Structure formats: structure tokens, C-alpha cells
Structure 1
């Protein structure tokens, strides 16, 4: 591996700036707040941070509705603040990736204001416009991820516009060359400011079928899909015309060509579709597309050994020369401590198990802020919600606010040390005892275990570069082999609630992985409930 290949096996820490740290006392986290906590991030031993959107925005979707791709929203600070943060991160050996929400803009963006003003203005075709059917209804049956038709009527143009998400997030028309070039120029603006790459939001959504053909029904909900809940009809279609179009790959190659001019920069793409692993392979293979991608496969409620084996083996089979980025939590899903809990009760032993499993897979890793503290999903009342997704589908789906509540820094401080004022979302009282300050002095805390395990992982080339082969699974156990050259390891995980014995005849040497609880003997290994361990195969 070279210095420019840092992303191969790199650990990326996702910072959701709104909820990280508030430096100016307005109840909302900001860029200077991230800067103030940069030494904390460095202490985690991660390779990079991914900053969720801080761009100018009306905040209908909390920054994922961009109204200026080159501006910092005053809520978060200024371009000068951002440059200062990048310099501080680089001084500590931390790379900075920023979110790029290219599929859609805000309806308050100047581009959209011009586009909707007439059918013959210079930006008339920068968004996806379509005439109604003869009876005035929407052009086709495409659905929004956030519920309802993916089309909204505009009285000025007397046409419908496409939005895969909120109606205030109109889709850009990537069939327009000027749109592609503008977005590439905007990305280069940030590269020139020193960013080390991009997380690409909804990266398979960029292009749509020009003929606007209807999607067929979906009778087989697949892993990696978006909107698989029964309360959201989005999953009732096969999304073969509204996203993941062949032209998408050509644009992603243009992004790669741009980044090749900035050695050491990288992309990680979010892929959400019915054939997510196949799409990941296409989008990361060949060395001329994206550097890495992640799907929603491990962001679902499923975590049985059988499901994990299926997912891991599918990735190994499908990706070939592509590169995965694994994630078990982010700003869009229920926190993993709740989502994968046994009997609905968060368990820190189980949290350590998931940490070890995630950081032992072949590929890169994204960690979401608060995972290193063992935070579970915060419970909010309906009147406390701000997420339009949750408000729309309450109470069957409570939205994304529960995973976005503020970081607890000090248990005894008002609002957990996050802010001097009432935060934009309430801080969970259950999170206060898990604050950074409370965990710092405890060598065996979740926080310090994460620090040690990430440092250990980064000192083991086998975990970064080695191959992976699943050897065994049953109702509780998952066992796989990592191999690099002549060296091979056994990696064992007991996801069950009872201790288990796993037998073999090969000679092994136990490895001192942080927090490992396995006891290795001559005939096998004893794994306590929620236990894990690593051993080197001898001979």
C-alpha cells in the first residue's frame, strides 16, 4: 500500500456537525465545534472524518437540500472556519471527506428558481421536468423515498418536476451536460480548498430513464433496498427506471478522473437499490470508477450469523476487484446498539462484539459518532420530532431524529456539555452516564476499547489487506479466516446469549486483540455469550 491508498482499509469517522459540539451557544453544532474536538477525534486513531452537509441550505432536510454548493451555511460557520478545520485535521494526520449531495438540490437554489421560471430559460433543462398525462395526473408511477409520488406540480412551468426525496429537493437532470460539468467544477472547488475526498449521497440515483417508463411491481424485497418497511410503499416497486441507470457509471468515471488529479483523494458512495452488491461491484471495479462504496445491507435489523455470512460472501463474490466500505450505523438508521440488541436491551458486551466484527472485515469502515460511546437510540415524543421522514410515517416509523441527538461530552453539565443552550434535539438522559468525560478514566470503557481496537487493527496488515473466507456459522457462531501470504487467522464471534465451544484440530496461537474474551485450548475455543477472539493458525 502507498500513502495515496490510505482508503484501502481506512477507518472513517462520520461527524454529524449539528449534533457534535456547539461552539457558539445557539443549540446547533458547528464547524468550530468540530475543530474544538479535533483532538478527541484524533484520539480514536481513525484515518479520516466524513462531515455530513454544512452547505448553505433552508434545512428542510437538515443540509441534504443544498442551495449553494460552494457556501457554508451561517449555522455552521464560514469558509474560513472550514479551512481552519481542514488544516487542523491534516496537522494530526486526519483526512477530511465531505458529503456531496449531487442528485438533487434545494428548491431554493438559484438554479431551480431559474429553471422553473419558464420552459426556455438557460437552465430550463437543469432539472427533470415532464408534462402531465392527458388527465392531468403524474407522468408515471415513480415514488418518493419519503412517501407518495415522486412528482410535484409547478404552476409556473405547468409541468411536474421529479424528486426522489422531499418535494423541496428537486432532482437535477444529469442528462444535461452542463449540469454534470457544473457539479464537477463545484467538487473541484472543495478539492482546491484541501478536502481529501467525498462521500457521495444516493450515488446511484443520478440518472433517470429518459422515456419515463413505469417501474414494475416488486414481489421480492431484496437486501440492500431502501424503504423495506411495510408502512412505506416505496419498496413495492422494482426501481429499474428511476435510478441505477447505465449512464450513471459514466458520470462516476468522470468523478474518478477528477480525483486522479488530486493524489490521495478518495470517494465513498452510498448505494441503495434492490441489487446493491452488484451495483457496488460495478461502481468500484476496474480502477477507473469510485474508490469504495457501502450499501444498506448491514444497516437493517438483520444480524443473524446466517445473514452476516450471506452478506459477507455475497460481497466477496460480487465485488471481485472492487472495494467495500462497511458500516453498521449512520445518521439515517436506528443506532446499532438498539437495532441489533437482544430482547430490546442494549448490551455493552454485544456492542464490543459488533465493534470487533466490523473492524475485522475486509474493506474500509465507517463509524458513526457515538458508536464509540455505545449510545443507543434516543426515544423522542412526536412533538419533539423535526425529521420530515418521521413526522410523515409516525408512529410506525419514528424517523431519524433518535440517532441524531447530541453527543454527550460531560455528564454533569447542562445538556451534556454539548451546548450552553437548549439543543436542536433533546439529549437523551440515558446517554449522560456514557459521556466522553465519564468514559475517559475507565480503561475498559467502550470508548477506550474502540481506541485500542482501531490502533491494533491498523498495526495488522492482515486485517487491512488480507483475504476473507467464512468457515462456519450456526444459530450463534460466525467464524471466518483472514489470510495474507503465509499467515492465517481465525476470527470467531458468538452472537448468542449462551457460552459456546467451537472445536478444531489445528494448532493455534491466541492473539492479544483488545477486549477479546475467547479462551483457546488444544481442542478448540470457549466463547462466552457475546464473546469474540482471534488466533493465528500454526503450521
Structure 2
């Protein structure tokens, strides 16, 4: 058992976490699907970025209805990804490179192919009869509540064996576990303990606010017009957004389970990162990350939407920061992941891609208070891929096509070598096509270009490591007109200001005090695009389109 009292027990606070989607990262055996040995072979790339940890999306045994988020065996590696020995080798290699390993754990539901569900559905009185959420139909045969699935349609599926409905918050092949059953909680803690004993450094708990449902099975009320416009975990054209999800998730009983989970993790010094998908997520995240009690940090969806004005971004960051302050909680920001269109396309305003904008979003992400999650390919500035319907794999996309094209566009294979077959990802036929526009952005091309997005990413992450304020300092926003976002990071008597021009035209703003520029990338377009101009008693900051400025009060030593 590892001790939690090590000198770096809070490594996660302000850490940069690199998300790896195993199917699309690197294929080692030519079957067209990325795997654990493939990840191991490319860990030096992640280490060269300066990331602190990798988060590996699910690689457990699964029928892959939702590509691993439907777990059939928590303790087995799916053969398409390798073996437990391959996992151990990946873990050892990561640790040798100074990288922590965080693995995805999906506790709110399993696959319908899991042995637990196979037993539970056989009768109403078997030993695992209450391990899942079963309910009788209403007198007219309809589902017991009006709850909806995130992936569309009712959240209840009729099972002819038990002549009851079972709850599934996602696909019907992903039945929800019944956390009101004490045996379920104990069993899941045992699954987490298995990986703690294997030496993982932490867990990303998927959909962790879905772990309890309302025991009285009350109907959800309809959404108000205001809530429909709020930050949501789903698209507005999905009927799921038309309900206030008061009873099918984010229940108070979950706090007790999270405390039990934290107790287990503390025995091993492992970290808990929770995904909180809720229409009013900040207060839930604050509860879940109350200092020392439950999760260490929570993952925010707030910057994964299409809206990206300075006003919106400030509101989202301030709302979470104010919610976390009373509990001492900690957040984790992301601008891309495996569930949303890539930021290079999502936030381009409908225009062409622009590497200046890609650099700006990465600099902003790394400057916010909280930890940061970088999705694979973001360091290359990859745009969203176009995947034709006939090659679409994502069930979510197939259900809502053509208005919503699903999540495959951000899941296409990582381009490693521009001139090799399938960009060096595989020697076989890839599970999703390599996107042609990704080839010029391949790792090998960018590695030799000092002006590339990859070179920028590496340099920026290295510089951030020298700035403690950007890892743990407080944050306070300063008023600025659109499209400028301006905030200060402070700790003790040290401070740093960050200014971002989110627009495509030059802007100038008046500074409140004299600032000395911090040069994270001397001679790089990001740092040289901003300039300070004297103007009588005022000092003006000129920012080029998508310009970024970091500065500290004049006369104070640089950190």
C-alpha cells in the first residue's frame, strides 16, 4: 500500500493532464485500433510536452457499444487494447518518464453484458436483484417516470425476463447501478481498490453525479426558458435539455459514497477527478470537492460549449471560482475532449482555422485557476475532422444525424508521420479514417518546425512550470471591453496579469499600473504580438489579433 503522506501529495493542484483516447492514439499491432502498447510507445511525446499526468479513457473489457464507457469487466483489459501486463508496462514507463497515470472509472453504470446485470435480470429475488435500478411500469404499461436518456428517448428499457423496466441514463446497453444498495457500493469500492493496488496515481470518475437516483421515482419538471439557454452537457436540440434533472442525478446521497471513496483513495495516495455533468454544475462541483472530504478536483464542462465571448468566459470562470471558494474545492478546465468538436473548429467563429487562435486558447486554458486537461491533438492545433455518415461509428451521432454529426470528428486517429500510411497511426485499416487536413499537422512535421503549434505548446508548458501563480494562485477579473479578457493571478504579495484579445482585430487597452512583460516565448509570435506604449501618465497595451500578454507589476522580481 502506498502512503498518501508523500512530499508531492498535491501534485494534482494546477497540474496539466493530457487526455488519451486509446482507440485513436497509436496502434501497435495493425488491427486499426489504438492500444496500450501503442500508448507506451508514444509516452515520450507526452513527456516532451511537459504534462504532469495522462488520463487514459476506458480500456476495460467491453462490447464497445459506447466505446469502452460500457464496462463488462472492471478488472480486465479488453483484448483489443492488450493485457494487464501491457497496462503494467505502460504504467512503469509513464512513471519512469515522470508522468502520473489517471484511469477512467465508470461507476454509475455497466454494460448490459456485465455478469452483475446478467444475474440481476434473471429474477426479482436473485442475490443481485437490487444491484440495478428496476421499477414496475405505470398502470398503462408506460415507463415509471418521465426521465430521459442523455442519448435521446426514454431512460427506461423494458426487460421481458423480469417484466420490469430498468434505468439507463445513457444507452439502453448501459444499465444504471443502484447505489441505494449497500452491496453495490462495496463492490465498486473493491473494483477501485484493484487498480489502486496495481499502482495507478488517480481516477477520472465518469458521470459521477449520476451515481444515485431519486428513490421515490418522482418525475422531472420541464426546463424553463432560462435554463435552456444555460451551459448544458447536451445539445439544445436533444430533448434531454427540456427537463430540469432534479431527480435522475445529482442526489444528496452521493456525498456519503464519495466520502467512502475518498477514504479508500487516501489509503493509497490516489487522486479523484470527477466528471460532473449538470445544468447547474458549480455548486455540485463545490460539494463534491469540499476540501479533504470527497473528490480532489472536478472536471468542468463550462468551456466545452460553442459560446466563447469574453463575457461568457469570464462568467463561467467566476461562477465556478465563487462556488468553490467556501469549500476549498478545486476545478479542472478543458476546451476540448472526446465528446465535443475540437476547439480549433468550435471556436473559430465560422471562419478559417488560424494558428494564432489555437495558441490563444491553449494559453488561456493554462492561465486559468485550476488544473488543465489537454485533449490529444490539441497541442498540434488539429481541427475537427469530417467523417461521412457511412463511416460514422458513434451511436449518438447516428441518432441525431444530420443536425448533429456525433463525436467521431474529434476521435479520428492521431497523425504521427505525415508521409506514412494512415499518418503512422496503424499499418491496417483504421477504425475511423485519418483526416486529410491533419496530415500537414503531423507530429513529425511540427517537431522540426520551431514556429509550429507543437513547438509553441512545449515552450508554453515549460514556461508555466516556472510560474507558481499559474498553478495555485487566486484569480480576479479586471473589466475590459469585448473582445478582451483580462485577469490577475495572485498569491501573497506576488501577482501576474494575463490579457487576451479574443478577436481578429488589433485592440488597445489602458493599464491600471505599469507592467513588465513576462516573455514566455521570446521571439515567438505570441509574445511579440503584444506591446506596451507610453501615453502621458497612462500606459497602453496594444494587442494584435488573438494576441496574449503576460505581465507583472513593474519593479517586482520575476518568479
Name the CA distance, whole Å, in 1 between partners of 2:444 and 2:129. Answer: 54
Cα deviations across residues 220-253 of structure 1 (Å, max 9, x unaligned)?
Answer: 22534222322x1000000000000000111111
Q: State the partner residue of 2:159.
A: 154
Name the CA distance, whole Å, in 2 between partners of 1:165 and 1:157. Answer: 21
Name the CA distance, whole Å, in 2 between partners of 1:127 and 1:197. Answer: 26
Pick from 519, 532, 535 the counterpart of residue 531 of structure 2.
Answer: 519
Pick from 396, 409, 427 the counterpart of residue 402 of structure 1.
Answer: 409
Aligned residue for 2:399, secondary structure, equals helix
TM-score (norm 1): 0.98
Cα deviations across residues 160-210 of structure 1 (Å, max 9, x unaligned)?
Answer: 000000000000000011111111111010011110010010010000000
Name the CA distance, whole Å, in 2 between partners of 1:228 and 1:5. Answer: 35
Deviation, structure 1 residue 521? 2.8
> Does residue 241 of structure 2 align to residue 235 of structure 1?
yes
Deviation, structure 1 residue 490? 1.5
Name the CA distance, whole Å, in 1 between partners of 2:384 and 2:131. Answer: 39
**Is 1:221–1:274's contact at 8 Å kept on the other side of the alignment?**
no
Q: State the partner residue of 2:337.
A: 330
Pick from 249, 255, 259 the counterpart of residue 249 of structure 1.
Answer: 255
Aligned residue for 2:228, secondary structure, equals coil
Q: State the partner residue of 1:481.
A: 488
Deviation, structure 1 residue 344? 3.2
Deviation, structure 1 residue 2? 4.2
Aligned residue for 2:303, secondary structure, equals helix
Name the CA distance, whole Å, in 2 between partners of 1:2 and 1:518. Answer: 39
Aligned residue for 2:552, secondary structure, equals strand
**Is 1:17–1:51's contact at 8 Å kept on the other side of the alignment?**
yes
Structure 2, gaps ≥5 residues long: 1-5
Cα deviations across residues 400-459 of structure 1 (Å, max 9, x unaligned)?
Answer: 000000000011001010000110000100000000000001112101111111111111
**Is 1:202–1:269's contact at 8 Å kept on the other side of the alignment?**
yes
Name the CA distance, whole Å, in 2 between partners of 1:155 and 1:136. Answer: 13
Pick from 75, 84, 89 the counterpart of residue 70 of structure 1.
Answer: 75
Aligned residue for 1:261, secondary structure, equals helix
Alignment of 1:51-450 (within 5 A): 51-219=56-224, 220-221=227-228, 223-230=230-237, 232-263=238-269, 265-320=270-325, 321-450=328-457
**Is 2:501–2:543's contact at 8 Å kept on the other side of the alignment?**
yes
Name the CA distance, whole Å, in 1 between partners of 2:291 and 2:435. Answer: 45
Q: State the partner residue of 2:3.
A: none
Name the CA distance, whole Å, in 2 between partners of 1:123 and 1:344. Answer: 54
Deviation, structure 1 residue 505? 4.7
Aligned residue for 2:478, secondary structure, equals strand
Aligned residue for 1:235, secondary structure, equals helix
Aligned residue for 2:253, secondary structure, equals helix
> Does residue 468 of structure 2 align to residue 461 of structure 1?
yes
**Is 1:326–1:366's contact at 8 Å kept on the other side of the alignment?**
yes
Name the CA distance, whole Å, in 1 between partners of 2:320 and 2:86. Answer: 39
Name the CA distance, whole Å, in 2 between partners of 1:465 and 1:2. Answer: 16
Distance verdict in 2 for CA 1:495–1:132, change over 3 Å: same
Cα deviations across residues 468-519 of structure 1 (Å, max 9, x unaligned)?
Answer: 1000232210111111221211100000110001112522111012232211
Deviation, structure 1 residue 274? 1.5
Number of aligned residue pairs: 537
**Is 2:289–2:297's contact at 8 Å kept on the other side of the alignment?**
yes
Name the CA distance, whole Å, in 2 between partners of 1:488 and 1:298. Answer: 25
Q: State the partner residue of 2:44.
A: 39
TM-score (norm 2): 0.95
**Is 1:225–1:276's contact at 8 Å kept on the other side of the alignment?**
no
Name the CA distance, whole Å, in 2 between partners of 1:254 and 1:33. Answer: 35
**Is 1:224–1:295's contact at 8 Å kept on the other side of the alignment?**
no
Deviation, structure 1 residue 295? 2.1
Structure 1, gaps ≥5 residues long: none
Deviation, structure 1 residue 117? 0.4
Aligned residue for 1:246, secondary structure, equals coil
Name the CA distance, whole Å, in 2 between partners of 1:26 and 1:473. Answer: 52
**Is 1:306–1:473's contact at 8 Å kept on the other side of the alignment?**
no
Name the CA distance, whole Å, in 2 between partners of 1:223 and 1:316. Answer: 17
Name the CA distance, whole Å, in 2 between partners of 1:145 and 1:26. Answer: 31
Deviation, structure 1 residue 31? 0.1
Name the CA distance, whole Å, in 2 between partners of 1:286 and 1:155. Answer: 46
